[in-house]
Amino acid sequence: MLGRQQIAGIPNAIHELFKNAHDAYAENVEADYFRRNRVLVLRDDGYGMTRNDVENRWLTLGTESRVNANVVNKDIAEHEWRGPKNLPQRAIMGEKGIGRLAIAVIAPITILMTRASRPDGLKNLVVALVHWGLFEQPGLDISEINVPVAEFPGGMLPTREDICGLADKVAKNLEDLRHEISPEAFKQLKETLQQVRFIGPDMLDKTLNKNSDGSERQDPLTLSGDGYGTTFIVLPVAPELDDDIDSGTERESSKLERNLLGFSNVMSLLKPVIKTEFRDHLADGPHERIGSKSFFTSEDFKRTDQYFEGTFNEQGQFIGTVSIYGKPRPYVCNWIDGKGRTPRCGPFSLRYGYVQGRSTESRLNPTDWQEMSSKTDRVGGLYIYRDGIRVLPYGNSDVDWLDIEKRRTYSARDWFFSYRRGFGYVEIKHSVNDSLTEKAGREGFRENLAYRDFRSILVNFFKQLAYEFFRNTSPQGEDYIEGKELFTAQAELLKKQKVKAESRRKDFQKLLDVFFEKYNSGYFETESKRILEELSENIFKLDGIKSTEEFAYGSRVLEAEIKQKINKINSSNPNCYA
């Protein structure tokens, strides 16, 4: 199938479905994967589809599911339907319509449920059952394949019995085509279809709209009542998804994370265009796989050692701010390789933060340095966002698209930057960067002249930064050199203080050990009793002395002896050394 050829894997397919939700002006899109049942549910609150949209657009390959996509005409744009909230206009991301076939990569059965919100009100819920396995049978005429569609009025959701009714129609169609399908394939198609009979969308909706404590969600994502949007229920999910989720380590992000983290730009100062979630339902409950804690936020730029922010204008010139160890300064960088010509890519903006590889050279406290280093190790990189939506695969840990590590290998002294120590994004727009076009497989830009200029400008920028600020002979390197020396000296002083404190701790621990050894053996009780007995005996002796002078002298001597013995006991108490 064309969809399979265009999509590299399940995470890419989910990424495409997230794009479809964005194009439908959804504010939220959530994926819930039930591993034990091998069912994936993907829901959004976009403006949904009518029955006509489903039958004549969604089920027809190569058609545009959103009319007037990326229009320049302001009159048409003003009348474009953007959902009941009339959200700001968005640039469409899934122009080729491949996303609706990408779902076949995830699983062979799809239950599509969609409810449209239009200017004249809410429409009926439309439900379709698609068995993609039929479309893969060689020699089978596509016109012979039946995709049953049903409507449900008044915010009603289909029950398990309703889904079984649709499955019966697919089963009949399958039986009618039996003579054109191999016996092995027919058996597999029939067994796969049986699994859909256990799905009850009405009950599933109740489950998904409850919190972990069993209470109702305050912001339910539902098609019942006054809800609208689109829901996909796909099954049985291919086992590759499990590996895509579990392949991550402490230092490497999983394939799912590399494709879905940061779908919408949460590193920007602006509100993200759309909120995305992916919950992995295991025996011990749901696990959030692409939550905000796993990715960078705008606040993380405050926890960096070096920070760069600005815009590249129509001439490829950077105008912005460079902050070295928290000391900002204005900075202008010309595109030297352009030799005065205008770049073909158009203007764009950049935010980038960098964390020193050694904690001793960082201005961050040890906790922040460790947290940021952990993040940059797993998901560090320079991401690209077009109109607030991520362009794959840029930013992935295995896609060093500016060859930063390659240049560092050639000359670490001159290059400075390491790909896994920094993070940030380049922001482009359809309206001014339309010459940057994505490949058919949705895996990066075509390497046309515009992309080559775009990449050349950024490579030149990082080269100039290294030359200007981060070499011992850099013309503006004083802030870096002084800061590095200062934090290195502070780290060395702290190290010495820690060594001294550790020595004192060990000495104190020895005293504690001696104290508790004597305490547990009854030493203090025995010594106290002996001192009291000696005191009583000596007081009795003093009582028989008649001379006042001898009595006074004897009392002073006795007092000194008793104090000396008490001090000897106290010397075993660690509190005396605190």
pLDDT of residue 522: 85
Give the Cα separation of 231 and 113 in Å (integer): 5
Give the Cα separation of 297 and 372 in Å (integer): 11
Among the residue ranges 219-223, 254-258, 302-306, 406-410, the one predicted with the least confidence is 406-410
Contacts of 48 (CB under 8 A, 6+ apart): 24, 114, 115, 116, 117, 123, 228, 229, 230
Among the residue ranges 47-61, 182-196, 220-234, the one predicted with the least confidence is 47-61
Contacts of 363 (CB under 8 A, 6+ apart): 305, 325, 326, 483, 487
Which of 102-106, 305-309, 435-439 shows the highest mean pLDDT?
305-309
Among the residue ranges 15-29, 66-80, 476-490, the one predicted with the least confidence is 66-80
**Over 70: is that where the pLDDT of 68 sits?**
no
Average pLDDT over residues 438-463: 90
| Phi-psi region at 279: left, alpha or beta (left = phi > 0; alpha = psi -120 to 50) | beta
pLDDT of residue 153: 93
pLDDT of residue 67: 44
Give the Cα separation of 418 and 226 in Å (integer): 51
Which residue do the tokens 């499955």 mark?
Answer: 167
Give the Cα separation of 174 and 134 in Å (integer): 8
- Dig out the tokens for 489 from the structure: 């000296």
Band of residue 130 on the pLDDT scale cut at 50, 70, 90: very high
Give the Cα separation of 154 and 150 in Å (integer): 14
pLDDT over 90 percentage in the chain: 62
**Over 70: is that where the pLDDT of 453 sits?**
yes
Give the Cα separation of 303 and 367 in Å (integer): 11
Quick check: 21 and 216 in contact, CB under 8 A? no
Average pLDDT over residues 207-223: 88
Band of residue 38 on the pLDDT scale cut at 50, 70, 90: very high
pLDDT of residue 79: 76
pLDDT of residue 375: 93
Q: 457: how many CB neighbours lie within 10 A of its CB?
A: 25
155 against 355, higher pLDDT: 355
CA distances from 82 to 88, 117, 174, 219, 223 (A): 8, 10, 39, 20, 18
Helix (H, G, I), strand (E, B) or coil at 226: coil
pLDDT of residue 238: 93
Mean per-residue pLDDT of the chain: 89
Among the residue ranges 3-12, 391-400, 525-534, 552-561, the one predicted with the least confidence is 3-12
**Over 50: is that where the pLDDT of 319 sits?**
yes
pLDDT of residue 364: 95
DSSP string, 72-123: --HHHHHTS--TTTTPPP---S-TT-THHHHHHHH-SEEEEEEEEEETTEEE
* CATH code that applies to domain 2-246: 3.30.565
Band of residue 492 on the pLDDT scale cut at 50, 70, 90: confident
**Over 80: is that where the pLDDT of 409 sits?**
no
pLDDT of residue 209: 93
Among the residue ranges 90-94, 126-130, 190-194, 572-576, the one predicted with the least confidence is 572-576
Which of 52-61, 70-79, 463-472 shows the highest mean pLDDT?
463-472
Band of residue 385 on the pLDDT scale cut at 50, 70, 90: very high
Helical (H) or strand (E) element with 233: strand 229-235
Average pLDDT over residues 105-130: 96
Average pLDDT over residues 399-420: 81
Amino acid at 455: R
Is the N-terminal amide bond of 236 cis, ω within 30° of 0? yes
Give the Cα separation of 105 and 16 in Å (integer): 11
pLDDT of residue 512: 84
**Over 60: is that where the pLDDT of 576 sits?**
no
